[in-house]
Amino acid sequence: MKKILTVLLALLTMAVLATTVAAEEPATLKVSFGEAVYNEDGTVSMDLIVDENPGFAILSVFLDYDTNVITEWKAVNANSKLTQTAGYGLIYSMDGNFTETGKIATITFTLVENAPHGNLVVTLLDGVNFEGTPNRDCVNYDEETINVEVEDGTIAIAHDLVHVEAVEATCEKEGNVEYWYCKDEACGLVWEDEALTIVSNHKNVKRGVKEHTVVAMDAVAPGCHNTGNVAYWFCSVCNAVWTDEECTQVSNHLSVVLPELGGDVIHVEAKAATKEEEGVKEHWYCEECEKVWEDEARTQLSNHKNVIIPKLPEFALADVNGDGEVNGLDYMLVKRHVLGTHEMTEEQSARADLDGNGVIEGLDYMFVKRAVLGTWPVVEDEPDAGEGENTENTEGENTDASDAE
């Protein structure tokens, strides 16, 4: 597609002395380009170099390149022996052999402004015959043919590189491998290595989203006081929620919740127990589900049995023998128990333990005596009430009690 313009470069060499060397096999001259050097004015220069020089009188080489990129070139002769020709001009000298090696010219290339990035190859051609002259691209002074080995030159036109770090793909977003790309849109090249040898493209460097880590959740029926949910599936990594196993119906954690049924909670005030009736602790309960709580915030779960306070004991304190009366017989039991002549039963001990310390001793003995006398418990308003009555029945015992004290 590209039109390649061939331009002739002729080297005119002038040697002081002509040396004639007869050779059966043609000698070989190597011609190549040196490194491309960018100049401040934007042009690029490469040296033209000869090697293994057997001595030549005429050398003509051609430059073949992309004329869309290189608009012109100019050769500067290192030793004033080079003539650049346009078209098919060929100029040479027959005065002697040039035998030096190394740089014979510097060629400076002018590139188009937006030269495509990458390696721009400048090809060296030799061995082209001109106007019917057989193979006179390189001969020595004696018109002996010299083979020319050519090597292309390369002008690297730098990319405007961007380095992109690798990003691991997740179930939420795609990732990418580490890559480099050229910012220049007209260039648009992408590579997967820093040396720019593995050519890729913007699509290939991407890594697709990973599969979700799906957890299935069974449906839960809502209760009076707890929410339920429909069956759903969610991703334990990104928390996405779906209402179908195929994960096509997108939902969210709120939408799958079934609200609590909200049974009526009844507040029950505390009531003290009496001898006749059980009491009850303050509590709250639900008529629907029979749940019972001991706090309004419904954090202390209880049950209907636990909130009941049992009836107060039937017996009266100081009625040690449990006959329904407090009299000298009760006093006698305690007295004997304290003296160690008779041991009371557990129940009797409970009735006699007026100071409530769990042991029957002198203080209980005295309190029971007072109870019999009607002076226990102490009632300030009527300090002597009933004393006379009780004395009747228990007179004899009173004397004993006084003795004991």
Give contact residues for Zn ion (rule: CB under 5 A): 117, 159, 171, 182, 184, 187, 212, 224, 235, 237-238, 263, 286, 288-289
Amino acid sitting at position 331: Y
Sign of the CA dihedral running 317, 323, 325, 328: negative
- Minimum CB separation from Zn ion for residue 224, in Å? 3
Distance from C-alpha of 289 to C-alpha of 303, rounded to nearest angstrom: 11
- Minimum CB separation from Zn ion for residue 251, in Å? 14
- Minimum CB separation from Zn ion for residue 137, in Å? 36
Closer to Zn ion by Cβ: residue 251 or 393? 251
- Minimum CB separation from Zn ion for residue 293, in Å? 10
Q: What's the token pair of residue 47? A: 């040296």
**Which distant-in-sequence residues (6+ apart) come within 8 Å of 61 by Cβ?**
9, 11, 31, 48, 124, 125, 126, 137, 148, 150
Tokens 């004395």 — which residue?
Answer: 391
- Minimum CB separation from Zn ion for residue 303, in Å? 13
Closer to Zn ion by Cβ: residue 142 or 184? 184
- Minimum CB separation from Zn ion for residue 241, in Å? 10
Closer to Zn ion by Cβ: residue 307 or 344? 307
Distance from C-alpha of 200 to C-alpha of 180, rounded to nearest angstrom: 9
Closer to Zn ion by Cβ: residue 78 or 196? 196
Which position's Cβ is nearest Zn ion? 224
| Measured distance between the N- and C-terminal CA atoms of the chain, rounded to whole angstroms | 137
**Closest by alpha carbon to 10, among 74, 64, 90, 67?**
90
Tokens 């002008």 — which residue?
Answer: 155
Closer to Zn ion by Cβ: residue 159 or 335? 159
For β-strands 175-176 and 257-258, DSSP reports them as unpaired
Closer to Zn ion by Cβ: residue 241 or 372? 241
